[in-house]
Structure 1
C-alpha cells in the first residue's frame, strides 16, 4: 500500500500551538478539518462539530495527514484549501496527490475564498477533486455540507459502502451517454431561449406591471454532490415571500413531522401572485432555468435542485443517493407525481433515488417525451 511521506510535522492547531495541541485535537472524538493556508479570525472560535488543524502549504498538509493516519489512526473529515496567488502550482500538486492515493478521493475537498466565488467555478470544473467553493458566510453550515459530500464520495470511491440490491446500479459515467446528454442540453436550451425570447419579454413586462420587485427569482440551490449554484425562475410570489415561510409551514402538503427530511410545498400558497399562479400552472416560470442548463449547473432531465434548508436535512445514507444525479428541470418526480397532493416525503425521495440508479440517455429521452403531459398541473402548488 502506498504511504505518505514519513516526516512528522509540528503544526499549529486552532485550539493551541505545537505538537501537544495537535495531539489533543487528533485524539478527540470530534471530527478534524484540515485547513491549508491562513484561517480567518472568525474561524478561531469554538465549534462543537469539529476541530481544525492548520497547515501552511500542500507539503505540510501531506505530513499532517500522515500523522493523522499512522499515529492517530484518523483521517480529516474534510480538507479546506484557502485560495491564494500560488494556486496555479498548488492545485496540480493536490491533483497528483489524490491520483496517487486513490482512497483519499473519499475526503471532501473545498476551496475557501474571501470573494470571487463565481470566478472560481471554472476551477471546480477543471479539477474533479474539488467539491465546491465556500466562503465565510457558509462556515456555520459546513458540518451539513461535509456530511452530504462525504457520503456521496464514499459511495463513489468504495462501492461496497452502500448496501444495495445486486440488480441496482449507481450512476455510471459512460462517455457516450454523458456526451449525448450534454449535447442535447446545450442544443435544446439554446434553441428554447431563442424561440421563447418574445414570450419571456412579455412575461417580464407583466410581472413588473403587477407588483414591485425583481422580475427573476434567484436563489441558491443544491444540485448534484450538493454543489450550490444560483437558480433562476420568473418571480411568482410577492417580493418578501422567503421571509414569510415560517407563517405558512402549517399548510405544508408533505407529511413531515419535524424529524428527518424536510420538504415544503403549499397548496394554494397565499404568497403567490395572480400572474404567478398562471405561470406556475403552465410551468412558464421554469423557462429561465434554461440559462442554468447552458451554464452547466443543471440538465434538462434530473432531480430538482433543493433549497439549502431542504438539502441539509438529507444527510443520512437512506437519502443521500438522490444527489448522485444531476439537477434537472424535469424528471421522474415531475412526470409521475407533479401537482398531486397525496405525495409523501419518502415517496418523493424514492423517486429521486430511482432516477439516480436508472438514469441513461434513453431514459432521459423517455422523460422528455412524457413531460408535456405533466405541464398543466391539477392543483396550484
Structure 2
C-alpha cells in the first residue's frame, strides 16, 4: 500500500489476526492511519480469539470495527456498506455501493398504519405543537425543532426531528459529558460504549426538562413517520457517533428492523439508570427478529404509561 497511488488505494481492508500477532497488526493499522494517502481506508479486523481487551486496542489503533469467530459475513458486508456511504461515498459515484446489502422491507399494512396514525395525530396535536413552540422560544433563542443525523434501518441516514430541549450548541459539550455522565459506562470503566445516555444532563432547559419527562419532545418525529424515515414502532434510530462505534454481529442485527418512535426499549426499561448496554441490544435484536403487527399494538398500548419516566436520563 505504501507504493500505491490514489487510484489504487482500496476503500476497505479486512485484516485477519492470528494468535500472538495482535501487536504486529495493531502497529500496521496505526501506520496506515498515519499515512496521508491511506488514512481514510476502512479497516475491519477479524480475530480468532475473543479477548475483551482487543476492542479497546482496536479503538486506540483507529480500526473501524472488529469481529470475532464465528464470522457473520452478511453483517460484516452491511457494516462496510454503511461505512462506505458515511465516509467515502461521493454522490456522483453510486457504483461504490456495490456491496451486498441487507434491507428491511416494511409490510404494506405497517406503512399504511403509520401514515394514517401519524397524519391523524399531527392534526389533533397541532394546538399543542404551537404552545410548545411558544414556550421554547420564550425561554431561549435558537431553533424550535432540533434536527440531527440518525442511522435507521439498514444504516439509512436521515434528518431526525425533536422539539429542542437543550441549550444552543449542546452537541459541542457532549464529548466531555459522555466520559463522566454516561449511563451505559457505569461499572465498566475503560471500555468503549456504543450507546451514550447522559445522567442529570446540565444542558437541558427548564422547558426541555418538562418536555422530556412527558416525552412531548418526541412528537415532531411524527413527521419522520409520515415521510417514511421511521415507523410508529421499531428500534430507536442512532446518532451517527453511536452507529459508528465498534460493534459486534449481535449489535448490527438491530439495524435489520425498522426505526421507530417507540419500541421494546421504551416500554421495558426506559429511564431506568440500571439498564445495561447488553440489555438494550437484546431488546433491539428481539424486535428486529420477531416484530409483528400484533407486537406493535401491544407496544403502543404500553407506551403511554412508560412515557412518564422517573430517572433524569
Q: Same fold (TM over 0.5)?
A: yes
Q: Following the alignment from structure 1 to structure 2, what is the Cα–Cα distance between the partners of residues 16 and 358? A: 45
1:296: Cα distance to partner?
Answer: 0.5
Larger relative CO (CA 8 A, sep 6+): 1 or 2?
A: 2
Aligned pairs, how many? Answer: 250
Matched, 1:288 2:288: no
- For 2:143, which of 200, 204, 214 is the aligned residue? 214
Q: In the superposition, relative to structure 1, how do residues 358 and 202 fare at CA in structure 2: closer, same or farther (>3 Å)?
A: same
Partner of residue 31, structure 2: none
Partner of residue 254, structure 1: 184
Q: Following the alignment from structure 2 to structure 1, what is the Cα–Cα distance between the partners of residues 278 and 291? A: 20
Partner of residue 235, structure 1: 164
- For 1:139, which of 88, 91, 94 is the aligned residue? 88
Partner of residue 307, structure 1: 239
Does structure 1 retain, via aligned residues, the 8 Å contact 2:233–2:261? Answer: yes
- For 1:351, which of 244, 266, 283 is the aligned residue? 283
Q: In the superposition, relative to structure 1, how do residues 219 and 301 fare at CA in structure 2: closer, same or farther (>3 Å)?
A: same
Please say which structure displays the higher CA radius of gyration.
1
Partner of residue 311, structure 2: 379
Does structure 2 retain, via aligned residues, the 8 Å contact 1:330–1:371? Answer: yes
Does structure 1 retain, via aligned residues, the 8 Å contact 2:151–2:157? Answer: yes
1:139: Cα distance to partner?
Answer: 3.3
Partner of residue 271, structure 2: 339
1:247: Cα distance to partner?
Answer: 2.9
Does structure 2 retain, via aligned residues, the 8 Å contact 1:132–1:227? Answer: no
Matched, 1:190 2:119: yes
Does structure 1 retain, via aligned residues, the 8 Å contact 2:183–2:196? Answer: yes
Does structure 2 retain, via aligned residues, the 8 Å contact 1:189–1:290? Answer: yes
Q: Following the alignment from structure 1 to structure 2, what is the Cα–Cα distance between the partners of residues 47 and 196? A: 51
Q: In the superposition, relative to structure 1, how do residues 360 and 16 fare at CA in structure 2: closer, same or farther (>3 Å)?
A: closer
Q: Following the alignment from structure 1 to structure 2, what is the Cα–Cα distance between the partners of residues 108 and 334? A: 26
Partner of residue 47, structure 1: 38
Q: Following the alignment from structure 1 to structure 2, what is the Cα–Cα distance between the partners of residues 374 and 16? A: 53
Deviations 1:287-329 (A, max 9, x none): 0000000110000000001111111115321211011111100
Does structure 1 retain, via aligned residues, the 8 Å contact 2:133–2:144? Answer: yes
1:260: Cα distance to partner?
Answer: 4.2
Q: In the superposition, relative to structure 1, how do residues 109 and 311 fare at CA in structure 2: closer, same or farther (>3 Å)?
A: closer
Q: Aligned to 2:161, what secondary structure does the other structure show?
A: strand
- For 2:13, which of 30, 55, 78 is the aligned residue? 30
Superposition RMSD in Å: 3.5
Partner of residue 319, structure 1: 251
1:272: Cα distance to partner?
Answer: 0.3
Q: Following the alignment from structure 1 to structure 2, what is the Cα–Cα distance between the partners of residues 263 and 372? A: 24
Matched, 1:15 2:5: yes
Deviations 1:36-61 (A, max 9, x none): xxxxxxxxx6124649xxxxxxxxxx
Q: Following the alignment from structure 1 to structure 2, what is the Cα–Cα distance between the partners of residues 366 and 304? A: 17
Q: In the superposition, relative to structure 1, how do residues 319 and 131 fare at CA in structure 2: closer, same or farther (>3 Å)?
A: closer
Deviations 1:133-155 (A, max 9, x none): 958xx439xxxxxxxx97x84xx
Does structure 2 retain, via aligned residues, the 8 Å contact 1:132–1:228? Answer: no
Q: Following the alignment from structure 2 to structure 1, what is the Cα–Cα distance between the partners of residues 311 and 277? A: 18
1:246: Cα distance to partner?
Answer: 2.4
Partner of residue 20, structure 2: none
Q: In the superposition, relative to structure 1, how do residues 131 and 196 fare at CA in structure 2: closer, same or farther (>3 Å)?
A: same
